[in-house]
Structure formats: structure tokens, C-alpha cells
Amino acid sequence: MTNKQKLGLLIIISTLIRVIVGSYIQLGNDEVYYWTYARYPDWSHFDHPPMVGFFEQLFSLNLLFESELALRLGFIISGTLSTILLYFIGKEVKDERTGLLAAILFNTSIYGFIISGLFIMPDGPLVLFWMTSLLFFIKYQKATEKFKINLFLSISMISLSMAVYAKYQAVYLLFGYGLYWILYKRDQLKNPVLYLNISFTALIVFIIVYWNYLNSFSGMSYHSERVTLFSLNFNLDSFLREVVGQIAYNNPYNYIIILIALFSFKNKRFIDLQYFWLFLFISLPLIVTTLFFSLYRDTLPHWSGVSFLCLAVLAAAYLSERPRTPLLYFTLCMVFSLVLIGMGVVNRGWVIDSAFDSKTESTKLGKNDPTLDMFGWDQFRNELEHLETDRSELAGLPLISNKWYPGSHLFYYVARPMEKDLYVLGDMKDMHKYYWINQTRPPLKEGQNGIYITYSRNFKDPRNTMQDYFSEMELLRQFPVLRSGKTVEYGYIYLLRGYKNSNLGGEVKE
């Protein structure tokens, strides 16, 4: 079987697995929140630029189809395209075998295969445009004709701009290119086409900054609190979580091969020196920055995921020197199998439900089971529908939540199909985009009632979260959430009486 045939088989199998998983598990916390980016599009948003929402709109035909698969379709396709891009990048910098191995390493990476290739996350378009930019940057630096130099440079820079419009981390790609120009392409610093393209990137940045200016720099203030440059509060736990998370998200096998490739390059030049430095320039700064922030702030391992995908090309070039790589293919099969098993864990509770303690306090049941984020939300809707059948006065009441999660799940799985309004009431750090979504709703009126839903794995008593907004709280129903016939958590539905019209936290602009 040729390398191209192996690539085709890889693409078919990996895409099919992601389609199956994307069809049969419910949306996670972040995914269902980013659905609001498509439902309420804007030039930018509180948490991220808007590209993730644009992807959803494009592939769901502007939310004509709102199933889990329809919303995830753009990210599944981008994962497939990124696999192809990794193949061509590896082929450009070395040979066809390197390209195949790079494509395989992308699919053995949990970050590549799942986070950027399946889930509704800004990382999907980030990786797609980042890799498109990188491929044409390599083509641009190899070109000799002026037309091709400017064409490939323009495609690369436009793709970089789109990556920035997907996620802020893409500015590190421009930083890496800058280092490369200074060391290897200094003559291009005189090329006016370069600055024309950089001006387009500046326009994208201006749009993001201007949106923040119009909205009191709310988003930038939020992110600046997460990534403060200096602090005396050393946090060893955060640093260790980041390191372990990077290893887990990128697969221990990939991580080890990347390290081996980096440290063996001095003695074994398995790739041209200029490419080696290019991949370091566009990868290491983001990885080092994330590790630095983790020394005193809680960080997330996927922040640097795209950098490890770039380093995976170096790992692929290193592996291509070997005639056979059975462990890599074994790892690929393991990842594919684990993803399919994970679908059973989420939907059927395989293994994990047997670990539940039946004596767990009802308001804490399921607390240690993250898979419940993607399960059981239809049961919440069914319980509320049955409750409204018994008590017709509840039918016209809006849903109230104390935070963007579980607010987004309640919005998508309960309020949307029941044609109810949902309000998130709290501080800005709890509302996020719901500060603006609230303003699209009819203002809550003094004395108005609402329905509040919470659950045992993250129980939030409305007497603590809603006391500034409503006068009375009444528990209407406690119900079990069942998975394969076993109670895995409890849901709670409350009636909130007497909205105080307090305007605390700017929950609704009157």
C-alpha cells in the first residue's frame, strides 16, 4: 500500500469515527456555550474572536440544522482538512513518508483528533488556518518566481489573519515568522506585499480591540486576569497540572518522540536546519509562555496544543528515518479504540458507573464524573415538561441560571425546544456572553417569577445564588438522572418568586 493510499484510509477511518462520536454524544460545557456565538453572532465576543461561531453558522446553514452533528460538522471537516495539511507540510519539508507520519501523529494527538477535530472549540479553525498558513509559508520561502513568492506569501498571511480571528494564540505564528524573516529571509523585509498583508492582520486585530472598546474592554480585562505577567504567588500544582496536561492532551507517545527528535537533531540532521528552526520559532514561544503563566495561574493544557502539532512534524521527520514504526500504528489504533469506548462511557456509563457510591449525599452524586457534562440533558427537559403539565402556571415562566454553565446546557437542551427565555444572573465573570444575550430578552419585571434548575454534581442552592434577585425559593421537584437504569445524579427544579428588579451585575439593561 502506497503512502497516499494509507493517507486515504486514515482520513476515511478517522473522519468516520468523529462523525459517529459527534452524532451520539451531547454537547459539552464549552461546546454548548460556543453555540451561542452562532445564535448571537458579533464582530467579537467576551471570551474569544468569532470564528468558532462562523464555522457553526456555515456548516449548519445558519442554524437551519441544530443537531449535535450539524453543529460539530465544520469542526469534523476542519480536522480532516488539517490531517491533509499536515501531510503536505511534512511532504514539503522532507518527503511523502514524513507527511504520512505527520498526519498520523495529528490523529494520535487528543488535542488534534478530538479538541480541534471534533468538538466545537476555537481550536478547530485555529489549527486549520494555522496549518494552511504554515504550508504556504514553506511554499513561499521555497519559491523563486516573484509571482509565486507574493502569491504564497499572501495566502499564508491571510490564513494567519483568519487564525487570529479564531483564537488569540495565532499571534505567536506571526512572531515565529518574524524571527524566521530576520534570520533567513531578511530581503523579504523590503517586500511591500508583506506589509500589505500585515496591514490586513492589523485590521483583524483592530476589529477585536474595537469591539472590546465598545464593550468597556470586558473581554480583555477578563483574559488579563487569567494571564497576569508577573506574580509572587508560585503555584506548583498549576505548573504540574499544565505539564501533565500537555503530555496527556498530546499523547505520551507523541510527547516523548517530540523530545527525542529535538534532542537528537544535533547529532542526526533528519531535516534541513532552516525548517528545524522555523518549527521551533513558531512553537516554543507559546509553549514556554503557557508554562510560565502556569507557575502562578491556573492554565489549560490545550492553550499550547497547536504548537505541539507543529513539533509533531519534526517528530515525523525523525521517525521517517526508520524503516518501520509499528508502535506509532499501535498508538493510532489505541486512540481510535479509546475514543469509541469513550462514547460508551459517556452514554452507557461503562466502567465509571460501577465506581459510584450509592451512599453518596444526594446533592453531591456525580460530582467526580465529568462525562455527565455530555449526558442526560434531555431528561431535564422531560421533567420540566411533566411538571408544567401538572402545574400550568409554570408554563410561561423563564428559566434562570447563575452562570454560563449550566446556563448554556439549559438554554440549548431545555429553553430552546420549550421556546422559553433564559436569563443568566450574576457577576460578569459568571455571565460572560449572557450579559449581552440578556439584553435581547424582554426585561425581567419586579415581582416576576422564574424557574431555576441545578444538579447534584455541581449543586448551587438558589438560596445562595439567587437571594439578591428573588424573594422566595421553593423546591418543586427532585428527580434522578438515569444512565443504563442507574441513578448517576439528581436534578432539582425550583420556583423563584418575586424578582427584586435589583439590576445587580448588569444582568438586564432596562
Mean pLDDT of 245-266: 95
* 422 contacts 415 by C-beta, under 8 angstroms: yes
Q: Is residue 163 part of a domain?
A: yes
Q: What percent of the chain has pLDDT over 90?
A: 84
pLDDT tens string 424-454: 999 888 999 999 999 999 999 999 999 999 9
Look at residue 481 and tell me whether its pLDDT is greater than 50: yes
* 180 contacts 280 by C-beta, under 8 angstroms: no
Q: Residues 294, 384: one domain?
A: no
Per-residue confidence (pLDDT) for residue 480, from 0 to 100: 96
pLDDT tens string 335-344: 999 999 999 9
pLDDT tens string 369-414: 999 999 999 999 999 999 999 999 999 999 999 999 999 999 999 9
Q: Is residue 192 part of a domain?
A: yes
Q: Residues 284, 195: one domain?
A: yes
Per-residue confidence (pLDDT) for residue 354, from 0 to 100: 63
Q: Residues 114, 27: one domain?
A: yes
Name the residue among 262, 373, 352 with its Cα closest to residue 310.
262
In three-state secondary structure terms, 287 is: helix
Q: Residues 377, 336: one domain?
A: no
The span from the CA of 503 to the CA of 420, in Å, is 21
| Higher pLDDT among residues 217 and 390, named by residue | 390
* Backbone conformation region of residue 272, classed left if phi is above 0, alpha if psi is from -120 to 50, else beta: beta
pLDDT tens string 73-102: 999 999 999 999 999 999 999 999 999 999
- Cα dihedral 337, 8, 317, 161, rounded to 10, equals -100
> In whole angstroms, how large is the CA radius of gyration of the chain?
25
Q: Is residue 360 part of a domain?
A: no
Q: Is residue 358 part of a domain?
A: no
Cα angle value 99/104/110 (rounded, 5°): 135
450-455, strands of its sheet edge to edge: 422-424, 399-401, 450-455, 486-499, 470-483
Count of CA atoms in the C-beta half-sphere (13 A) of 130: 34
pLDDT classification of 234: cutoffs 50, 70, 90 = confident
Q: Are strands 422-424 and 486-499 parallel, antiparallel or unpaired?
A: unpaired
Tell me how many domains the chain contains. Answer: 2
Q: Residues 334, 375: one domain?
A: no
Q: Give the global pTM.
A: 0.94
Per-residue confidence (pLDDT) for residue 510, from 0 to 100: 35
Q: Residues 270, 376: one domain?
A: no
The span from the CA of 92 to the CA of 135, in Å, is 8
Mean pLDDT of 295-302: 88
Host domain of residue 416: 370-506
Domain end: 320, 341, 362, which one?
341
| Higher pLDDT among residues 109 and 266, named by residue | 109
Per-residue confidence (pLDDT) for residue 352, from 0 to 100: 81
Per-residue confidence (pLDDT) for residue 221, from 0 to 100: 57
Per-residue confidence (pLDDT) for residue 117, from 0 to 100: 97
Per-residue confidence (pLDDT) for residue 213, from 0 to 100: 87
The span from the CA of 353 to the CA of 356, in Å, is 5
Q: Residues 272, 169: one domain?
A: yes
Cα angle value 110/235/28 (rounded, 5°): 35
Name the residue among 246, 259, 242, 249 with its Cα closest to residue 296.
242
Mean pLDDT of 164-193: 94
pLDDT classification of 307: cutoffs 50, 70, 90 = very high
Q: Residues 122, 52: one domain?
A: yes
pLDDT classification of 507: cutoffs 50, 70, 90 = very low
